[in-house]
Amino acid sequence: MDNEVKRAYLEKNMLAPFNKGKNRFVVFCDFCKKKFHGSIKISKNNKAYSISVNGANFHHLDGNPENDVVENLRLYCRKCHKNVHYWGIIQRWLEKTGNSVVDLPDSKEIKPMTYRKY
């Protein structure tokens, strides 16, 4: 993903432009609101480079990594990003089996499956 797209996303969501030089900022996961520290460098000719948001990932809502329109992007912590992709697997499985979310049992108390090596 292009650094200028990341910059546009960050500026839109932070409601403030970045200055030339190194900028530090705080952003939050768009889902769980976990806090992240990041930095971005803006060159003398006002181009973004060296963008870092440690522990967070940009996600394409439509699943197309080529569609870098700001409205198609979300910033998720690694855990939420992983879970969004897992939820997509579950949604496709439900669709394939002709079921819906309401057909699923309440599984909050079930422990995660673990696998033993043999």
Q: Is residue 117 part of a domain?
A: no
pLDDT of residue 74: 96
Q: Is residue 107 part of a domain?
A: no
Question: Is the pLDDT reported for residue 116 higher than 90?
Answer: no
Question: Is the pLDDT reported for residue 105 higher than 90?
Answer: no
Question: Is the pLDDT reported for residue 113 higher than 90?
Answer: no
Q: Is residue 118 part of a domain?
A: no
Q: Report the DSSP beta bridge partners of residue 77.
A: 56
Q: Is residue 28 part of a domain?
A: yes
Q: Is residue 24 part of a domain?
A: yes
Kindly report the backbone phi and psi dihedral angles of residue 25, in degrees, each rounded to the nearest multiple of 5, phi listed first: -150, 165
Q: How many distinct structural domains can be found in the chain?
A: 1
Domain encompassing residue 25: 3-101
Q: Considering the chain, what is the average pLDDT of its residues?
A: 92
Q: Is residue 50 part of a domain?
A: yes
- Mean pLDDT, range 33-58, rounded to an integer: 95
Question: Is the pLDDT reported for residue 118 higher than 70?
Answer: no
Report the 10 Å Cβ neighbour count for 34. 16
